[in-house]
Structure 1
Amino acid sequence: MDEHRGRGRPRKDPAALARWTPPEGWSRLVAWISPEEKKALKHVAVEAGVSVADLVRALASGLATGAVTHGELVGQVIRGKQVMEKIPTLFERDERFHVVDRPRPECAWVFEGAGVGTEKLDGTNVRLTVRSGHLVRVEKRRNPGKAQKQQGIVDGWYVDTSGESAEDKWILAAAANTDVSAWPDGEHPCEALGPRIQGNPLGLDDHLCVPFDLAAPRLTEVPRTYAGLREFLAGLDSRYSPGHPAEGVVFHHPDGRRAKIKRKDFPRTA
């Protein structure tokens, strides 16, 4: 009998799964993932004709042998973290949810002068997937509800839009109006903007999507203190849509970290 039988239900004990003994020195890796992430992994595994475990091992083997470079993988990890994790606000908040003059530790790099600022656009967070200059997928961000937050789920995720959903109508219109022909292949987090999205605070005539990584307006000489940012945002005109107030600023660190601050985060009076 073959001692290296794969997983299955042995004839002598159908209620039990077969055991597989790993080679000497191997270790087990366990990670918690969302249902959507699990589905994505399974999809790739099916495409490759392997199990999810073999898919993970293949990735590790590729790294170990140099077939996949560390730089390539780190770049993908940073992109994934950028689009799935909530961007931290620069300052702590009080009981009324206004920011106070107490920087958050994870945003210390901003106050040290690192990174650059871009205008924070006021719309709906979406993600467009592009292949060979063509739009192949449109997703929208979903944030955890109260029950999920009680389970420790604090970061949002993306779900597919549907042409049959009235809720997704204007997101899809924005995506359809966006020229992606020059965009590089990949998944691009964007802000969907337009007349029927979030009250159209920028006064736009058409719906479209603005990619964070390609077209967010850069802001120069942004203050990096509580008082300075408060004054700066109070009079900041939108660079993307002049004549309308900008929602806020997003700081981008070269290593992929981000931090944000919005005009409405500050209390109205000192």
Structure 2
Amino acid sequence: MTEGRGRGRPRKDADALARWTPPEGWSRLVAWVSPEEKKALKHVAVEAGVSVADLVRSLAAGLTAGVVSAEELVGQVVKGRHVMEKIPTLFERDDRFKVVDRPRAECAWVFDGAGVGTEKLDGTNTRLTTRAGHLVRVEKRRNPGKDHKARGIVDGWYVDTDPSAADDKWILAAAHNTDVSAWPDGEHSCEALGPRIQGNPLGLDDHFCLPFDLQAPRYPEVPRTFEGLRGYLSTLDSRFAPGHLAEGIVFHHPDGRRAKIKRKDFA
């Protein structure tokens, strides 16, 4: 045991766990989930009397045996992906979760020519508060879970990061590596980017935060049709990391509404 590390919660059957080895050819599957999603998985697992790992494996076994059809599962995945979307995508999606030439009603303002396009950056949404050129607060976005939505809470909010939390390590690294000396006093919504955040699709060498209100690359002449956007994004070079394709475009309305489209959204 590493010195100074406290004891964790004991396993119910530690000896059995230590003796168990996976069958030949098996592989381990790891996924990141939110606290709300983890709680929901654990709740179902408890109801079924199994571990979360066995719950996931049962689903895979059901697919393999044909007990659960791919069509049924895809339908639930599509519903879940729509819940996960924090900013609406410009177009409706098909059963493969690719966009089709059918604009979403709530995004009509984009096709009417309102708002401005900025480069979509694949990082972690954060908020930095500055005073006199100094960083005084670092927050991360929290999105409503099922219980919140049942109470009518549909918009996300920001919560303070925790220096002792492993989940916040790279957000804080990005924040403290960002030069805020010339930023005006106030709260600045940012995207935390870097080698250990979201797979680093832009190939960045350092962690830092990009403030949307001060530095987000703008694209004033973005096409606003299905075919126009598909062709435009297929070759759009990132202004922030030349040599890498931009992930997509986020349209910002003056009243605060946003809408997005990503290159990989297209079939």
Do both share a fold (TM > 0.5)?
Answer: yes
Q: CA deviation at 1:92?
A: 2.0
Please name the residue that 1:207 is paired with: 207
Distance 1:152 1:265 in 2: 29
Distance 1:182 1:151 in 2: 41
Distance 1:121 1:150 in 2: 30
Q: CA deviation at 1:223?
A: 0.7
Distance 2:131 2:89 in 1: 33
SS at match of 2:241: coil
Please name the residue that 1:265 is paired with: 265
Please name the residue that 1:159 is paired with: 159
**Aligned CA distance change for structure 1 residues 97 and 152 (closer, same or farther; 3 Å):** farther
Please name the residue that 2:181 is paired with: 181
Deviates more, 1:110-119 or 1:198-207: 110-119
Q: CA deviation at 1:96?
A: 3.1
Please name the residue that 2:244 is paired with: 244
2:226 partner letter: Y
Distance 2:220 2:182 in 1: 26
Please name the residue that 2:108 is paired with: 108
**Runs of 5+ unmatched residues, structure 2:** 1-84
SS at match of 2:95: coil
SS at match of 1:158: strand
Q: CA deviation at 1:88?
A: 2.2
| CA RMSD, Structure 1 to Structure 2 (Å) | 1.9
**Aligned CA distance change for structure 1 residues 142 and 255 (closer, same or farther; 3 Å):** closer
Please name the residue that 1:64 is paired with: none
Please name the residue that 2:132 is paired with: 132
SS at match of 1:139: strand
1:90 partner letter: L
Q: CA deviation at 1:186?
A: 1.4
Distance 1:98 1:150 in 2: 28
Question: How many residues in Structure 1 have an aligned counterpart in Structure 2?
Answer: 183
Please name the residue that 1:35 is paired with: none
2:139 partner letter: E
Q: For residues 32-75 of structure 1, what are the alpha-carbon distances to aligned partners after superposition, in whole Å with 9 as ceiling and x for unaligned?
A: xxxxxxxxxxxxxxxxxxxxxxxxxxxxxxxxxxxxxxxxxxxx
Q: CA deviation at 1:152?
A: 4.7
**Identity score, percent:** 81
1:161 partner letter: T
Distance 2:95 2:151 in 1: 23
Distance 1:157 1:252 in 2: 18
**Runs of 5+ unmatched residues, structure 1:** 1-84
2:88 partner letter: P
Q: For residues 161-192 of structure 1, what are the alpha-carbon distances to aligned partners after superposition, in whole Å with 9 as ceiling and x for unaligned?
A: 01111111111010001111111121111000
Q: CA deviation at 1:145?
A: 3.3
Please name the residue that 1:255 is paired with: 255
SS at match of 1:102: strand
Q: CA deviation at 1:251?
A: 1.3
TM-score (norm 2): 0.64
Distance 1:148 1:99 in 2: 28
Please name the residue that 2:227 is paired with: 227
Please name the residue that 2:193 is paired with: 193
1:179 partner letter: D
